[in-house]
Amino acid sequence: MVPILMYHNVGEGERHLTVSPQALARQCRLLRAMGFHAITLRELGEQLQMERIARRVVVLTFDDALLGVYQYALPTLRNYGWSATVFAVSQRLGQETDWAPRYRHRVMSRQQLVDLHAQGWEVGAHTLTHPYLTRLPPEDAWREVAQSREELQQLVRAEVYSFCYPYGDFNGDTVQMVRASGYRVACTVHKGLACPQDDPFTLPRVPVACSDGATGLLYRLWRAWRRTRRCRTRGGIDEL
């Protein structure tokens, strides 16, 4: 069972869905003290495919590719030799988030995303404009899913392997679009730990709240483990 942590922004001050750099550092310290090391979602996807999940791995995902992730999470994780996965909204790079009134954040630039990728991070796709995919006409939803992959692949000059559903909004048709567009794994906002028997296109995650420090993260891991423990695998945090 593997925790896929869900973060949004990292930064100073009380902001919606923003973890402080200090809290992120404490969480990384805790994870390392527990024997975890972080891998990208792509690496986990490849391990799931081979049904050989390394022991004590964790995946950190950052939705929306926000500027604070580049500024704070990148150097913090570098201290541990870890990389992570960002899900980029391909037509909002270098702009501000514009899809929720309470949620105004600066998005990293195209160059910063390229730099992040060059430093070993995985760039996954999170559509072109962050819509509710199930509310769009199929041809528009298809464009959001497939074209964002193409745009990001052109930008980072590498395969885009992972997708994340905006707002966790998907249905059977959306999953088919994601699969047919060439992605190999996709994340939802369902809570739980990822297991080999999971559908790789609807992977659950562990949300990290802005008020969480190390203890908060530990509590969330425990809750996710309890929720998922009926699924038994070797390794992972089932030995906690």
By beta-carbon proximity to Zn ion, the closer residue of 68 and 166 is 166
Q: Map residues 62-91 to x or -, x wherever contact with Zn ion holds by CB under 5 A.
A: -xx---------------------------
Site residues for Zn ion, window 97-136 (CB under 5 A)? none
Alpha carbon distances (Å) from 80 to 14, 18, 37, 71, 91: 26, 21, 8, 16, 31
How far apart CA 60 and CA 63 sit, in angstroms, is 10
Identity of the residue, 6 or 195, whose beta carbon is nearer to Zn ion in the bound complex: 6
3-state helix, strand, coil in the chain (%, to 5): 40, 20, 40
Compare residues 166 and 200 and give the one whose CB is closer to Zn ion: 166
Where does this chain touch Zn ion (CB under 5 A) — which range of 60-68, 133-141, 188-196, 203-211?
A: 60-68
Of residues 135 and 157, the one with the C-beta less far from Zn ion = 135
Least Å distance between CB 225 and Zn ion? 25
Of the pair 36, 163, the CB lying nearest Zn ion is at 163
Q: Which of 121, 2, 108 is nearest to 52 (CA)?
A: 2
| Shortest Å, Cβ 165 to Zn ion | 9
The site string for Zn ion over 154-193 (x = CB under 5 A, - otherwise) reads ------------x---------------------------
DSSP string, 193-233: -B-TTS-TTSEEEEE--TT--HHHHHHHHHHHHHHHTTS--
Cα gap 8→147, rounded to integer Å: 23
DSSP state of 138: H
> What is the smallest separation between the CB atom of 166 and Zn ion, expressed in angstroms?
5
55 C-beta neighbours (distance < 10 Å), count: 12
Query: Where along the sequence are the contacts to Zn ion (CB under 5 A)?
Result: 63-64, 166
